[in-house]
Chains A and B, each alone.
Chain A
Amino acid sequence: MQRVSAKVLERVRQLMADGTVAKVVGWKKGEFFYDCAPSVFETVESLDDLVYDSFCASNLSKYMIKNSVLPEGQTGKVLVLLKPCDTYSFNQLLTEHRIQRDNVYILGVGCEGMVDIEKVKAQGVKGIIGASEKDGILTVETVYGNKDVAVRDVLVNKCETCKGKTHVIYDELISENEDEGPAGDRFEGVRALEAMTSEERFAFWKAELSKCIRCNACRNACPACSCRKCVFDNNASGIASKANTDSFEEKMFHIIRAFHVAGRCTDCGECTRVCPQGIPLHLFNRKYIKDINEFYGDYSAGETAGQRGPLINFTLNDVEPQIVSDREGN
């Protein structure tokens, strides 16, 4: 279901067989057709379960923090499969010195957009047992009968407004996509929020964030959240927490987290994708990205490794805190 699938699988096998790489970080075939899991492959035989299809939305960059540290005695690099958007996260992690680049072999893989099974289910599709894709139509086979859905209606959130098909870092590339630029306007949702009155906006976020169970999936999936020990897990910090202690914390946890990753968030979309409560966390991040673009000029975190982001730079033209009241809190 991705044009380059077969080529990718074959090439990975070759690279492992000839000893170029000793390990592969990729997606592993699931129980159903849509639930492949990020996994580490250590033998050529295990690669029988490697997949690359339209359900490989998860971003594997963050796994390279751990996996780019080679165990003693390992020769050969660690291969990681990265989609175009994932490469921004990888670069950002390089900028932050979190990945040992020399130990990694990046195989960039072309991508035509990933499918979100939750969105398929939201169309009333239940009891899924199989699927096939042809000409942009996904035919889902269920115990209640077949159903056709258009792939463009069930794309993962981040894919709806895909940044483009260019890999910003790779060692080898297998892609058949022309880069036609961004697929849509990713700030549309932010603008809708900005157009609300502050009361409406407060009500919107209150309802969304009241669902949060502090499972930390958003934080743990986020490549920008890579602190060795998060303050919220550290019992000595005084603010460690396993649930939202009150409604203030319920809101502030996410706002603070978004601030912490502002300027480093590459908009990879993992937070929203993984949230079990369907909270549109990306709207926080995109608001900050939009503001950064407006105040400091267009900036894309992770575009190049080693770049210096506007929030950790100083220029005489920087906006003053006054901007908050100038914009009436927006």
Chain B
Amino acid sequence: MKKIAFSQIDNLLAAIAATQKLYMPVETAGQYNYGEWTPGTTYNPDVLHTVKSAKSVFFPQSEDLIRFKRDGMNLSISPVAPEDEDFVVFGVHACDVKGFAVLDRVFLYDPVDAYYTSRRKHGTIFSVMCKAPEETCFCGAFGIDATEPGADVDSWIADDALVMRANTEKGEKLLESLGSLLTDCDDTAADQAKAETKEILGKLPLADLNTNGFGKDVDLLTLFNRPEWKELASGCLGCGTCTYVCPTCQCYDVRDYNTGKEIQRFRVWDSCMYSDFTMMAHGTNRPDHTQRFRQRFMHKLKYYPDRYEGVFGCVGCGRCLQKCPISMNIVKVMKKLGGEA
């Protein structure tokens, strides 16, 4: 284990940013989202969740794929090359770290997503354990241990220090590069911090939430046809807030933008809550909002586990609990349709 005095954390961040790009929770007009470190950026340990998750660093809300330009009778087509610069993402909590695993299964394998894959290859994830989880947190329901995020580097705020451990080669390289800023230490402080967080996690109101009634062993059509979907969806506005703040929502749309000089083909997050989601030539296959609403939760709790050996597509970060304008969310769905306790 290595450590640095907590009061020195901004120096640590500056040292990282001196050699590569650094993304971390950055404040703009009162809200925190992942953004690029610039001189003067400070780390705020009291912020648990960014509005958009850390997903936005690897899979940004929109990114250009190809540019088309016509010059007389010639058409030039230039693909936008995937980013290949090394970077670090600092301050990620366990839920968002595990969110990457959910996205990895989709984007890293055939058909490989070149843009995401390249960023994953070049990105080093530096987690910070959550010191003060909130009532909306339920990562434990999906078997996630908030005290062991399992990123390239994991860190814990303990005894006025940031204590850290590298878990991967990338992580080791990063800590090595920080050299003399860090000093060696044993596990005591980190263990103490973990025990404190564990105690709080056990007291949270959703500590007993479980996934009974979902996952790969339950019957798909029975769940699909449950009459309760209608009532659950009855207040839903069909905005995309829940999908846009979610660390595991992975759907995107491909669109063209005419700048007047060229066409930019870009991809942009999509939302199953939108009326034109997966629109096809024959129209949409989910004409009713209840069907669209159901899609989001079936994907997290049934289709994804069916496809990926029982792993769930939700990491329990609680963002949809905090941000849905009408307070409808995956926990309410799980409690209504699943087995209690």
Contact = CB atoms under 8 A, between A and B. Distances in A.
Interface of A: 28, 30-32, 35-40, 42, 46, 58, 63, 124, 126-129, 142-144, 207-208, 210-211, 213, 215-217, 219-221, 229, 233, 235, 240-243, 245, 270, 273-274, 276-279
A128 B135 contact: yes
A129 B135 contact: yes
A37 B327 contact: yes
A242 B254 CA distance: 10
Contacts of B10: none
8 contacts: A32-B205, A35-B327, A38-B234, A40-B234, A124-B46, A127-B134, A215-B239, A235-B276
Contacts of A128: 134-135
A315 B134 CA distance: 57
A229 B238 CA distance: 13
B235 A39 contact: yes
Interface in B122-154: 132-135
A191 B204 CA distance: 43
A143 B136 CA distance: 12
Contacts of A243: 61-62, 268-269
Contacts of A245: 62, 257, 266
Among A128, A217, A241, A242, find the residue whose CB has the most chain B CB atoms closer than 10 A: A242
A219 B273 CA distance: 14
A41 B275 CA distance: 25
Range class of the B interface residue count: 35 or more
B3 interface: no
Nearest to A271: B325
Interface of B: 28-31, 33, 46, 48, 51-52, 61-62, 132-135, 200, 203-206, 231, 234-235, 237-241, 244-245, 253, 255, 257, 266, 268-271, 274-276, 279, 321, 323, 325-329, 331-332, 335
A189 B244 CA distance: 29
Nearest to A208: B29
Contact of A37 (B206, B235, B253, B269): B235
Given A127-B200, A242-B253, A58 B326 contact: yes
Given A143-B200, A207-B28, A274 B325 contact: yes
A309 B135 CA distance: 46
A31 B325 contact: no
A239 to B, nearest CB: 10
A161 B73 CA distance: 62
Contacts of B321: 31, 35
Contacts of A220: 237-239, 325
B200 A31 contact: no
Given A38-B235, A217-B239, A242-B269, A210 B205 contact: no
A221 B325 CA distance: 8
A207 B271 CA distance: 25
Given A37-B328, A276-B241, 17 more contacts: A32-B205, A35-B327, A37-B327, A38-B235, A39-B234, A127-B133, A127-B200, A127-B203, A128-B134, A216-B241, A221-B237, A233-B275, A235-B276, A242-B253, A243-B62, A276-B323, A279-B29
A34 to B, nearest CB: 8
A210 B274 CA distance: 22
Given A63-B235, A143-B204, A217-B237, A36 B327 contact: yes
B200 A40 contact: no
A217 B328 CA distance: 13
Contacts of B325: 58, 217, 220-221, 270, 273-274
Contacts of B51: 211, 213, 276-277
B52 A213 contact: yes
- What are the 3 tightest A-B residue pairs by CB atom distance, in nearest-first order? A274-B325, A38-B235, A35-B327
Contact of A242 (B200, B274, B279): B274
A165 B268 CA distance: 44
Contacts of A241: 255
A42 B238 CA distance: 21
A217 B241 contact: yes
A46 B329 CA distance: 19
A309 B266 CA distance: 41
Contacts of B276: 233, 235, 240
